[in-house]
C-alpha cells in the first residue's frame, strides 16, 4: 500500500488540511502516458499528455500572471515533476471544473512546459485541440 506524501513527511499532521496543500497524482505521463488525479468527491480525472488523439475530452486552458513551480509526486512511479501553479488550491479548483471520471486536456500539464519543442508543437495545433474538445 502506498502512503501519501503527507503521511510520510508529517505523520502526526496528516489531515484534510495538510492533504489539501499537496498536489499528487495516481499516475503520470511517464508511467501511463497521461496523468490521473483522484478527486475528493470520488472518481478520477484523466489529464491527457501531449496532443489528444482518438479520445473524447474537455479542454481547459489557464493563464496566470504569477506562478511558481509546485512539486507533484506520482504515487505509482514515484517521479516528482513540477507544475506551474501559484497554489495547490488553484489546481484543485481547476479540477473541480471537470466531472469525476472525465478526460481533460489541461495546458499546464498536457504541454511539457520545460520542452520548448513540445510547447511549439502544441501551440501550432491549439486550434485543433480546442476545436475537437467536447
How far is it, in rounded angstroms, from Cα 61 to Cα 83?
A: 14
- What is the residue-level pLDDT of the chain in tens, covering all 134 positions? 333 333 333 333 344 444 445 788 999 989 998 999 998 778 899 999 999 999 999 999 888 666 778 888 999 999 998 888 888 888 888 888 888 899 999 998 999 888 899 999 999 999 999 999 99
Closest CA to 86 of 26, 21, 29, 4: 21
Give the residue among 126, 106, 115, 90 at the shortest CA–CA distance from 46: 106
Amino acid at each position: 500500500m502506498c502512503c501519501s506524501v503527507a503521511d510520510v513527511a508529517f505523520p502526526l499532521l496528516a489531515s484534510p488540511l495538510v492533504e489539501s496543500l499537496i498536489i499528487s497524482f495516481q499516475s503520470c505521463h511517464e508511467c501511463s502516458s497521461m496523468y490521473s488525479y483522484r478527486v475528493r468527491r470520488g472518481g478520477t480525472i484523466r489529464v491527457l499528455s501531449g496532443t489528444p488523439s482518438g479520445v473524447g475530452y474537455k479542454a481547459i486552458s489557464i493563464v496566470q500572471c504569477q506562478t511558481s513551480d509546485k512539486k507533484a509526486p506520482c504515487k505509482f512511479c514515484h517521479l516528482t515533476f513540477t507544475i506551474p501553479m501559484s497554489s495547490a488550491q488553484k489546481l484543485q479548483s481547476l479540477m473541480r471544473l471537470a466531472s469525476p471520471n472525465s478526460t481533460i486536456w489541461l495546458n499546464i500539464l498536457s504541454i511539457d512546459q520545460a520542452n520548448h519543442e513540445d510547447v511549439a508543437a502544441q501551440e501550432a495545433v491549439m486550434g485543433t485541440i480546442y476545436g475537437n474538445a467536447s
